[in-house]
Each structure stands twice: as structure tokens, then as C-alpha cells.
Chains A and B, each alone.
Chain A
Amino acid sequence: MAEADERTVGETATKPGFLGLSDVSISEDIPVEGEITVPMASHSQDEDYSTLDEPVKETIIRDLKAVGKKFVHVMYPKKSNALLRDWDLWGPLVLCVSLALMLQGGSADSKEDGGPQFAEVFVIIWFGAVVITLNSKLLGGTISFFQSLCVLGYCVLPLTVAMLVCRLVLLAGMGPINFLIRLIVVIAMFVWSTLASTAFLADSQPPNRKALAVYPIFLFYFVISWMILTFTPH
């Protein structure tokens, strides 16, 4: 034992102490025994499988609540990860379909002079979102494909609200004051959409390319705002 002590003393003299543990030694006399238990992981698996047995109403309400929670996050954009972590595409689909339906029925002198048709709005929103996502990934962004689609789709919500307001305002007839109200509402919602999506997406870009990634988002919402502003009913 004395030799061991001398050895350890000698070692501590030459080696620097690592967290003060270099002079710890386990004597061979003391047995080490015990039990190691791993908590069973099947508990959470049981929970996942059990959602198959729940009534359909519960599933739908849970999904609706998730979508609603994300709507709230978009309307009050703070830096939170909720949109990114649990992405889903239900919200963007609902928003896109309702926006395309509301943009239908625009006036047209000739068949080709009218506003965008349902398919055109749909294609512009989804194709535009895919192109922007590809662009941000090619620039070196760290966000995943569907997360980015989810954010861009959910941030169309302010513009859908603007479309609703425009349609209501247009019920009162056309006129310059009418147009001015619509212009202000659409501009405000456009700025809100762009700021909301930038708040969620800008952090995932490399710092010297943020402007390159944000500009296409600006262009995307500008085009949608333009379609909303130029909507004229029959």
C-alpha cells in the first residue's frame, strides 16, 4: 500500500490534476455491486399505437388544435420553435384553398383578361413556396424542406385575412376611398406576413446570405398581395 501511495504521489507530482480526480484510487478490497435498470421504452410506444383506437373526433380535434396553435404563433410572431418543430401542411392547404376560392369570380371583359384562376393561384403559392425552399437550401440553409414549406404556408394567414376584409369592403361598392382602405389593409398584412416568415426563417441561414434568402420571400408575398389588391368582383 505504501508503494502504491508513493506511486500515486509521484504521479500526482508529475501529472496535473484533472478535476482533482487524479489522486482517486479504488482499493481492491471493496466490491462494487449493484443493479442497473433501464426504464422500459415501450410505454411511449404504447401511447403511439393507442391513437389508432381513439375515436376519430379526438384525432381531428387534436390536429385542429395544433393547426390553431400555429395560427396564433403566426399572428403574434415571437422566436419560438413551435412552427418548426411540429410542422404540418394542413394549415397551408386550408389557407391556400380558401385564398384561391376567394380570388375566384373576378371580373373579365374577355376570357383571358381576368384575374388568376383557381389553378393559377394554387400553382403560384405551392410552386413559389417550393422554389423559395430550394433556394434557401441551396444557399446553405439548415432548415428542412417541409419545415420551410410549413412556415411559408402558415404565413399566408395575414394575407388571407386581408382578402376576407377586401371582399367585405368590396360589398359596399367600388370607389377611391374603397380602394384606399383595401390598399392600406393589404400593405399592412403584406408587411406582417413578410416579417413573420422572416422571424422564423432567417435564423437558419448563414449570416452573410440572409438578405439573399429573404428577398425571394418578399417577392412571393408581394405577388400574392398584388393578386389580392387587384381583385375586382363582377
Chain B
Amino acid sequence: MLCVWGALVTSTEFEAAADLLAETPGATTISSLEEPQGHVSLAVDTGDQEDGDLEENDQTQLLGGEKQPPNFWTFSYHQSFFDVDTHQVLERIKNSLLPVPSQNFVRHCLRHHPDLYGPFWICATLAFALAVSSNLATVLQNWKEASFSYSPQFHKVTVAGITIYCYAWLVPTALWGFLQWRKGVGECVGCYTFLEIVCVYGYSLFIYIPTVVLWLIPISGLQWFLGVLAVSLSGAVLLLTFWPLVRSDTRVVSAVLLTVMVALHALLAIGCKFYFFQSLPSRSIPVTQAPLHQVTPPGSSKTSAAS
């Protein structure tokens, strides 16, 4: 459907508008440079669903551009990272699951509006899902054995939480530092902000949640297939997001960087699979009964008196 909207954008927003135009090749644009201050007005045909979002974002950017950025120690500074609606979060999750070659996650979905809600709660859900699934998997494997005693294994929650949160924060930090260095050296075109990288990584972890739940099915081939599928889908989203940045770099550096990114992503999946879903050797028979014989020390007089 034809939807035409016109918006006055300042010259600093021209770049964002240009990016948008680059990604919607079917759009027709009317640009008029009559305003003396260099304002550009654009009329773009876009789809229905993007309308409200784009308008909102541009208006908030226009209005916010005049105010000073709030102090780090004020509440409103942190509130700006949670300024998302339900449908926006759902849309970002959907785009992290399905890599589309023409859509860059950061440019298309985030549009200079990264949020911390998604990464934080996706990591929390993944940590608890890992612990719960791991516990259930242990039960499902061993419940038929007579001497199996169930234990909740609550320490796995701690391990899972630390692992997931470290991955979701340290790897983006390292990546951001590396890209800034390349930009400083002059090889890279530009860099995403730190929060945008954290956002991409956070949303890319979403696919592991259903994967971890489906890993309960004890068929080994299916588990490996699901793992490979999850890593390839989210790895593809990460690759497509960072390819425009490193494209202009030397071939060696860009190849190494992208390989390391995907390798870390796969390593997380494999590590979780092996630590949390280890098929345990049956530790049924000797453990519970042998110590009873070993507990009584050989030279003790008390036990001999008791027996």
C-alpha cells in the first residue's frame, strides 16, 4: 500500500535517512532543497508497519536533539535505554531469528535506538532455562535406575548465569574495542556504539532458549542438528550485521574477525551442551554401598564394641 509521509529532517539526520533509502530500493523520493538552512524534506513510500515507528523515532530525535543528554547518575539517563514498546521488542526478536541479507539488524531494527531490556531479560531467561533443562535432562536419563536419587543441582543456575552474562557483556566489549582501534587506524569505515553491539549480541542469544528446551529430547542426532541450526542462524545475523563495517578492512583482518565471532558463538553452544547436558555414565551401583564398608576405620574399638 502506498503510504506517503513527509518529515522535516535536520542535516544531521540526513545520514540516517540515506541509510533508510539505501535499504528500501523501491521507494520514491522527492527531495527539495529550497530551505536556506539546508533542511531536506523527503517523501518516502514505505510499508504500513514502519510508519509509526519511523515517525516516532524521528520526532523523538528531533525533540531530543535540542536537550542536553542527561547525566549518567540521573534516573532518566538509564530510562532512555528502556524506551521500547512490546511490539518493538517482538520485532527485534523476530529479526534476530531470521537473517535477511538486505537488512542489517542495527540499521534496520535498532535505528539508533538500542535498548537494554531485551539483552538483560533474554540472558536471564536463558540462564534459568539452561539450569531447568539440565536438571530435567538428568532426571529423564536416570529415572529408571533404582538407586537414582534426585538432586536439584541448584549450583547450575549460578554457573549458567555467570557464563551467559559474561558472554553477553565481555565479547561485545572486546569487539567494540577492536573496531574502535581499527577505526582509529583508519581501516574501518565506522563503528556501532557500544550499546548497539550489546543489543545485537543480546538479541542473538534468543534462539538458544527454544534450542535448550528442545535439547531435552534425548536423541543425539537431533540435538546436534538443533545446535548447528541455532548457531548458523544467529551467527548469520551477527555476520550480516558486522560485514558492512569490516568490508573495507584488509581481507585478513576481516576474515579473522568474523571467524572469531562465529567461533565464540559456536563455542558457547557447544560448551553449554557438554556441561549442562552431559550424558552421565551410570553411577548407580557401587557409590551408595561401598562407603559403608570404608567408613569404619580398621583399628577402631568403638565400632567393634557397637557391632
Contact = CB atoms under 8 A, between A and B. Distances in A.
A107 B125 contact: no
Nearest to A179: B150
Contacts of B78: 138
A116 B151 CA distance: 11
Interface in A77-129: 106-109, 112-116, 120
A208 B132 CA distance: 31
Interface in A133-159: 135, 137-140
Contact of B154 (A116, A211, A215): A116
Interface string A198-219: 0000000000111110011001
Contact of B117 (A116, A135, A137, A232): A135
B151 A212 contact: no
Nearest to B82: A138
B85 A115 contact: no
Interface stretch (A31-39, A181-189, A223-231): A223-231
A208 B150 contact: no
A113 B151 contact: yes
A49 to B, nearest CB: 35
Interface string B66-89: 000000000100110111111101
Given A107-B149, A113-B151, A138-B81, 7 more contacts: A135-B117, A209-B85, A211-B86, A219-B121, A219-B124, A223-B128, A232-B150
A172 to B, nearest CB: 17
B79 A230 contact: no
A208 B154 contact: no
Nearest to A109: B151
Contacts of B149: 107, 109, 232
B193 interface: no
Contacts of B82: 135, 138-140
B238 to A, nearest CB: 24
Contact of B84 (A109, A116, A212): A212
Contact of A114 (B75, B124, B132, B152): B152
Contacts of B32: none
Contacts of B75: 137
Given A208-B85, A211-B86, A223-B128, A140 B79 contact: yes
Given A107-B149, A109-B149, A210 B154 contact: no
Nearest to A128: B124
Given A138-B78, A140-B79, A216-B121, A230 B152 contact: yes
Given A135-B82, A138-B78, A209-B85, A231 B117 contact: no
Contacts of B121: 135, 215-216, 219
Interface of A: 106-109, 112-116, 120, 135, 137-140, 208-212, 215-216, 219, 222-223, 226-227, 230-232
A163 B13 CA distance: 57
16 contacts: A106-B152, A107-B149, A109-B149, A113-B151, A113-B152, A135-B117, A138-B117, A210-B86, A211-B86, A212-B86, A212-B117, A215-B121, A219-B124, A226-B132, A231-B152, A232-B149
Interface size band for B = 20 to 34
A208 B128 CA distance: 27
Given A138-B79, A140-B79, A209 B86 contact: yes
Contacts of B153: 113
B35 to A, nearest CB: 34
B84 to A, nearest CB: 7
Nearest to B120: A135
A215 B89 CA distance: 12
A107 B288 CA distance: 14
B151 A232 contact: yes
A82 B51 CA distance: 42
A140 B86 CA distance: 13
A100 to B, nearest CB: 13
Contacts of A114: 151-152, 154
Nearest to B131: A226
B204 interface: no
Contacts of A140: 79, 82-83
Contacts of B135: 230
A232 B139 CA distance: 13
A106 B151 CA distance: 8
B168 to A, nearest CB: 16
Nearest to B117: A212
Contacts of A138: 78-79, 81-82, 117
